């Protein structure tokens, strides 16, 4: 009898969860697209359509329909729009797997603060969600783009960040410090039409472009070009592979170079009562093309080439920093360097840091780039095979 | 029964887990809000306060190493003073368990078990805790021995996994920006947690090799302080002081920033599961001490039958503790640490009176 | 409220049964159980009007604000 009561009581342990969550009852959001139109804020959930995925596994997206769906609604505030979108979905939206947020230009101009606040406060949205900007109306551009090199648009975005093709800005990067909070750089996703840009077959595809400067949560002009974006990436220590070319120091023609990684050290020093941020990029590059008659075997010529590469790098970084500094947006959060090294002086400046940054902070760039390898051939094609034959 | 069943190593492992689990999950948000960069300094000062309190308790326990404090306390001060003080200590410890249970249920409900009624979670936690307490003094310390290495590995691995997100230049701030004035609130609150090791006084007859207890105290306090600092420093360096001050649970945010592979990115449920076992061990020990004291005060022979009702009472107190999140967190600045300090320093009163009485007796004997 | 009552009755039955088997005097324990039961029910009944935290705050907040130099 006692054993019977005990085993019946033990049966109560087989009940399982109180509030279970079925996988098939949830729609996992892949990308969150936010933009502003005349009626308010438009929120779009980009959701992989699992029912089409399952049936269309072997034959791709041609049979069965689209594999990615975009559901959007407009409302005066972000949260109301999200509630309206949920009303369209047949499953409960789960934002926990989301890694990317794409904002449109008009929304960025009027302030991305609502998104930052939502992402920081909501425990389900991760703080290292990547953010991107679309120079136009985000939902239309994303929804009509054909993604051909990857299965989904979100895999494309994830791979851009993973392979350091695009600048990586996360939600956390906007909140690193109080004095420069809300300042950052948003990488731009380009959607090319048929005239230029990437093309696979006949459809136009997605690509990376420059970057947009955000000051206090709002977009400010100008927009950085792709070269300047690469310089910004290198200041953030995120630059991977980079192709560039330099005028040859000895003859006319250019030399093509390739760097696999750029290592950047930043620090702050005080010289004659003025603060200087010193940025030192170092890298080892390979020569991949020599379209001049320069001879890599001559040490002095190689030294001259290295000096002109240093100059090129200094110039590019200085131009980029100049453009960014003029807007007054401290996108790299240099105030943290000052706060830890000179706390007493920081306390006096911190209330008007952005003005100080724009007018009085000096930024010095000191590049040190070496040529590591010169490739497989000894002399350039031009000098070995073309210029060699004179009078022809 | 005063058989010496608890070894020094078990005490070392148990109290390390006891201190670390409370601080790392609950107190880090508050510590960073109040102190920012001075938090590691506050931890060190709090550890010193904790060591001082524990040494006082041990010195008092050493005077009568084979008797229980609740028995001979009535001889030192009068019964009329002893029983109310013991009642106060019991109520404070009950409150400690209730507060910890409330925080557990809040954390689980908010992130992992949304939709579950809170009394179910509390009932299940209470069942686990009372089971372990019912088995006797040996069970908690054996469990702590088992969990120790696993917990340590988990706590050590987190700073290592987030090292790619760290910006090392911010570490300079620990030397330049930190100040004792900012660190004092942290030191005050954490001192009460480090001082919970003074519960050794109530189980002193069970401890074997009791002369080494002081050394063990220094060792576990140092290890606990080191582990907490090893957690604070990465949080401050990865998130920066301004962002870390704004988050309620910076620990969970750190875990979500782990980049190495998509499996490890959702590591937080595993950490929560391991940490939950450790905190059950802590709560069952306090429950055991409460029931032990209560049974000795009422001159009952067995303390086991009291454990289930006390646990049910604690669960009801937890439900009635606070109505909302805000009200609960206003308590942290509203006096819990002072309450705990007073209950930990009550044996000091006994110590002083005991020393005075002995001296008076010696003087009387000499004059005779 | 009913759940608390059921829990206490189950616990009391269980403990009293085992104490009788080992011939342990049950009277002091039963008194203690009844006391705790009444205290729990009172606490639960008045949980909206009276929270335990107000008790702590009233008693200890003044001391703490002095010690923390606020």
Q: Name the DSSP class of A170.
A: B
Last residue of a domain, one of A202, A224, A246: A224
Q: Where does the pLDDT of residue A261 fall: very low under 50, low under 70, confident under 90, or very high at 90 and above?
A: confident
Q: Is B333 on the interface with C (CB under 8 A)?
A: yes
| Of A108-117, B91-100, B263-272, B293-302, minimum mean pLDDT range | B263-272
What is the total count of domains within chain B? Answer: 1
Q: Are residues A216 and A69 in the same domain?
A: yes
| Mean predicted confidence (pLDDT) in A55-61 | 51
State the smallest CA–CA distance between residue B155 and chain C in angstroms: 31
Q: Is B121 on the interface with C (CB under 8 A)?
A: no
Q: Where does the pLDDT of residue B264 fall: very low under 50, low under 70, confident under 90, or very high at 90 and above?
A: low
Instruction: List residues of C whose CB lies inside 8 A of any B CB.
Output: 3-4, 7-8, 11-12, 14-15, 18-19, 24, 28-29, 32-33, 36-37, 39-40, 43-44, 46-48, 50-53, 56-57, 59-61, 63-64, 67-69
- Alpha-carbon distances, residue A152 vs A68, A142, A155, A159 (angstroms): 7, 11, 5, 11
| Contacts with B, A 315-344, CB within 8 Å | 336-337, 339-343
Q: Are residues A71 and A131 in the same domain?
A: yes
Q: Are residues A63 and A211 in the same domain?
A: yes
Q: Which of A272, A268, A278 is nearest to A338 (CA)?
A: A268
pLDDT for residue A15: 62
Rounded-to-integer distance, Cα B158 and Cα B252, Å:
11
The residue among C64, C65, C67 with the most chain B CBs within 10 A of its CB, best to mutate, is: C64
Q: Where does the pLDDT of residue A262 fall: very low under 50, low under 70, confident under 90, or very high at 90 and above?
A: confident
Residue-wise pLDDT tens digits, A294-353:
888 888 888 888 898 999 999 999 999 999 999 989 999 998 898 888 888 888 888 889
Q: Which of A161, A191, A155 is nearest to A173 (CA)?
A: A161
The reply to whether A148 falls in a domain is yes
Q: Are residues A151 and A63 in the same domain?
A: yes
The reply to whether B230 falls in a domain is yes
pLDDT for residue A61: 45
Residue by residue, DSSP assigns B318-357 as HHTT-SSHHHHHHTTTTTHHHHHHHHHHHHHHHHHHHHHH
Q: Are residues A373 and A249 in the same domain?
A: yes
- Give the A:B interface size as CB pairs under 8 Å: 56
Is the model more confident about C24 or about B201? B201
Q: Which of B263, B261, B259, B241 is nearest to B250 (CA)?
A: B241
The residue among A236, A340, A342, A350 with the most chain B CBs within 10 A of its CB, best to mutate, is: A340
pLDDT for residue B129: 94
| Mean predicted confidence (pLDDT) in A160-189 | 89
Rounded-to-integer distance, Cα A86 and Cα A177, Å:
34
What is the total count of domains within chain A? Answer: 2
Subunits adjacent to chain C (3 or more Cβ pairs under 8 Å): B
pLDDT for residue A320: 92
Q: Are residues A139 and A240 in the same domain?
A: no
**Highest mean pLDDT, choosing among A27-41, A142-156, B243-257:** A27-41
Is the model more confident about B100 or about A13? B100
The reply to whether B1 falls in a domain is no
Provide the pairing of β-strand A184-191 with A274-290.
unpaired
| Of A190-199, A246-255, B293-302, C9-18, minimum mean pLDDT range | A190-199
Q: Are residues A217 and A233 in the same domain?
A: no
Domain extent at residue B346: 8-367
Q: In the predicted model, what is the mean pLDDT of chain A?
A: 84
Do residue B302 and residue C24 have CB atoms under 8 angstroms apart? yes
Q: Is A276 on the interface with B (CB under 8 A)?
A: no
Distance of CA A275 to the CA centre of its chain: 29
Q: Which of B141, B197, B199 is nearest to B13 (CA)?
A: B141
The reply to whether B226 falls in a domain is yes
Give every CB contact of residue C42 below 8 A, 6+ residues apart in sequence: none
Q: Where does the pLDDT of residue A106 fall: very low under 50, low under 70, confident under 90, or very high at 90 and above?
A: very high
Does the structure show a pLDDT above 60 at A391?
Answer: no
Q: Are residues A45 and A102 in the same domain?
A: yes
pLDDT for residue A208: 85
What are the tokens at B358? 């002995």
pLDDT for residue A62: 46
Helix axes A299-327, A226-235, angle to 10 degrees: 90
pLDDT for residue A126: 85
Last residue of a domain, one of A207, A224, A241: A224
pLDDT for residue B241: 85
What are the tokens at A105? 């230009």
Query: Considering only alpha carbons, which residue of chain A is nearest residue B242?
Result: A177
pTM over 0.95: no
Rounded-to-integer distance, Cα A306 and Cα A318, Å:
18
State the smallest CA–CA distance between residue C58 and chain B in angstroms: 8
What are the tokens at B294? 């209560």
Q: Where does the pLDDT of residue A113 fall: very low under 50, low under 70, confident under 90, or very high at 90 and above?
A: very high
Buried (b) or exposed (e) across A294-316, using 16+ Cβ within 10 A?
A: bebeeeebbeebbeebbebbbeb
Residue-wise pLDDT tens digits, A17-51:
666 778 888 889 999 999 998 889 999 999 888 87
CATH number of domain containing B36: 1.20.1740.10
Query: Considering only alpha carbons, which residue of chain B is nearest residue C34?
Result: B309
The reply to whether B3 falls in a domain is no
pLDDT for residue B265: 62
Q: Are residues A33 and A174 in the same domain?
A: yes
CATH number of domain containing A329: 3.30.300.210
Domain extent at residue A238: 226-386
The reply to whether A147 falls in a domain is yes
| Mean predicted confidence (pLDDT) in C19-46 | 90
Q: How many CA atoms lie within 13 A of B173 on its CB side?
A: 26
Is the model more confident about C50 or about A389? C50
Q: Where does the pLDDT of residue A374 fall: very low under 50, low under 70, confident under 90, or very high at 90 and above?
A: confident
């Amino acid at each position: 009898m006692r054993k019977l009561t005990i085993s019946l009581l033990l049966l109560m342990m087989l009940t399982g969860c109180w509030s279970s969550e079925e996988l098939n009852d949830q729609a996992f959001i892949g990308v969150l697209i936010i933009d502003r139109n005349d009626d308010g804020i438009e929120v779009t959930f980009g959701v992989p359509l699992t029912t089409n995925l399952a049936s269309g596994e072997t034959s791709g997206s041609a049979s069965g329909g689209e594999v990615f769906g975009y559901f959007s609604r407009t409302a005066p505030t972000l949260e109301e729009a999200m509630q309206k979108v949920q009303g369209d979905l047949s499953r409960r939206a789960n934002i926990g797997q989301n890694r990317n947020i794409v904002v449109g230009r008009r929304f960025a101009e009027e302030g991305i603060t609502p998104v930052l606040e939502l992402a920081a406060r909501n425990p389900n949205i991760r703080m290292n969600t990547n953010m991107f900007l679309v120079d136009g109306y985000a939902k239309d551009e994303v929804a009509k783009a054909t993604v051909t090199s990857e299965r989904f648009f979100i895999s494309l975005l994830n791979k851009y960040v993973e392979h350091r093709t695009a600048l990586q800005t996360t939600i956390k990067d906007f909140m690193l410090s109080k004095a420069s909070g809300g300042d950052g750089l948003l990488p731009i996703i380009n959607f090319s039409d048929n005239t230029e840009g990437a093309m696979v077959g006949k459809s136009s595809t997605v690509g990376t472009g420059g970057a947009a400067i955000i000051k206090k949560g709002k977009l400010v002009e100008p927009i950085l070009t792709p070269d300047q974006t690469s310089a910004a990436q290198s200041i953030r220590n995120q630059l991977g592979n980079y192709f560039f070319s330099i005028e040859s120091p000895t003859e006319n023609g250019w030399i093509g170079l390739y760097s696999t990684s750029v290592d950047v050290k930043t620090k702050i020093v005080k010289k004659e009562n003025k603060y200087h941020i010193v940025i030192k990029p170092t890298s080892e590059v390979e020569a991949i093309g020599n379209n001049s008659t320069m001879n890599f075997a001559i040490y002095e010529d190689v030294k001259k080439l290295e000096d002109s590469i240093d100059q090129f790098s200094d110039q590019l970084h200085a131009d980029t920093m100049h453009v960014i500094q003029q807007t007054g947006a401290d996108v790299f959060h240099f105030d943290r360097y000052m706060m830890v090294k000179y706390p007493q002086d920081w306390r006096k400046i911190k209330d008007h840091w952005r003005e100080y940054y724009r007018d009085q902070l000096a930024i010095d760039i000191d590049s040190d780039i070496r040529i590591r390898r010169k490739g497989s051939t000894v002399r350039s094609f031009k000098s070995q095979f073309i210029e060699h034959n004179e009078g022809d | 029964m005063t058989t010496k069943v608890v070894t020094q190593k078990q005490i070392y492992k148990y109290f390390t887990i006891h201190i670390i689990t409370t601080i790392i999950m609950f107190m880090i948000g508050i510590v960073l809000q109040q102190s920012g960069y001075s938090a590691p300094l506050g931890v060190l000062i709090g550890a010193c306060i904790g060591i001082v309190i524990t040494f006082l308790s041990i010195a008092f326990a050493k005077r009568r190493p084979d008797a229980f404090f609740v028995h001979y306390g009535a001889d030192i001060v009068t019964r009329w003073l002893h029983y109310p003080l013991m009642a106060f200590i019991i109520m404070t410890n009950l409150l400690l368990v209730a507060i910890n249970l409330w925080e557990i249920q809040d954390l689980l409900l908010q992130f992992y078990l949304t939709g579950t009624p809170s009394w179910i979670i509390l009932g299940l936690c209470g069942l686990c805790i009372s089971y372990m307490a019912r088995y006797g003094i040996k069970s908690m310390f054996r469990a702590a021995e088992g969990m120790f290495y696993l917990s340590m590995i988990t706590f050590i691995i987190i700073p290592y996994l987030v090292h790619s997100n760290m910006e090392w230049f911010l570490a300079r701030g620990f030397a330049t920006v930190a100040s004792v004035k900012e660190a004092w609130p942290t030191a005050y609150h954490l001192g009460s947690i480090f001082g919970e090791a003074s519960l050794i006084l109530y189980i002193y007859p069970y401890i074997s090799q009791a002369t080494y207890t002081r050394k063990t105290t220094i060792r576990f306090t140092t290890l606990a302080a080191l582990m907490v600092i090893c957690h604070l420093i990465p949080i401050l360096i990865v998130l920066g002081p301004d962002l870390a001050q704004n988050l309620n649970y910076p620990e969970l945010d750190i875990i979500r920033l782990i980049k190495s592979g998509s499996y490890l990115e959702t590591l937080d449920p595993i950490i929560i599961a391991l940490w939950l076992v450790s905190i059950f061990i802590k709560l069952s020990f306090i429950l055991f001490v409460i029931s032990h004291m209560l049974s000795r005060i009422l001159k009952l022979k067995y303390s086991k039958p009291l454990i289930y009702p006390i646990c049910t009472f604690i669960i009801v107190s937890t439900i009635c503790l606070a109505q909302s999140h805000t009200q609960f967190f206003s308590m942290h600045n509203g006096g819990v640490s002072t309450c705990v300090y007073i209950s930990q320093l009550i044996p000091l009163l006994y110590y002083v009176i005991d020393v005075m009485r002995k001296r008076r007796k010696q003087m009387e004997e000499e004059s005779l | 409220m009913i759940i608390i009552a059921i829990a206490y009755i189950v616990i009391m039955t269980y403990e009293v049964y085992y104490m009788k088997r080992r011939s342990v005097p049950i009277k002091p324990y039963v008194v203690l159980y009844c006391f705790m039961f009444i205290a729990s029910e009172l606490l639960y009944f008045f949980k909206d009007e009276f929270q335990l935290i107000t008790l702590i705050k009233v008693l200890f907040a003044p001391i703490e604000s002095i010690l923390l130099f606020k």
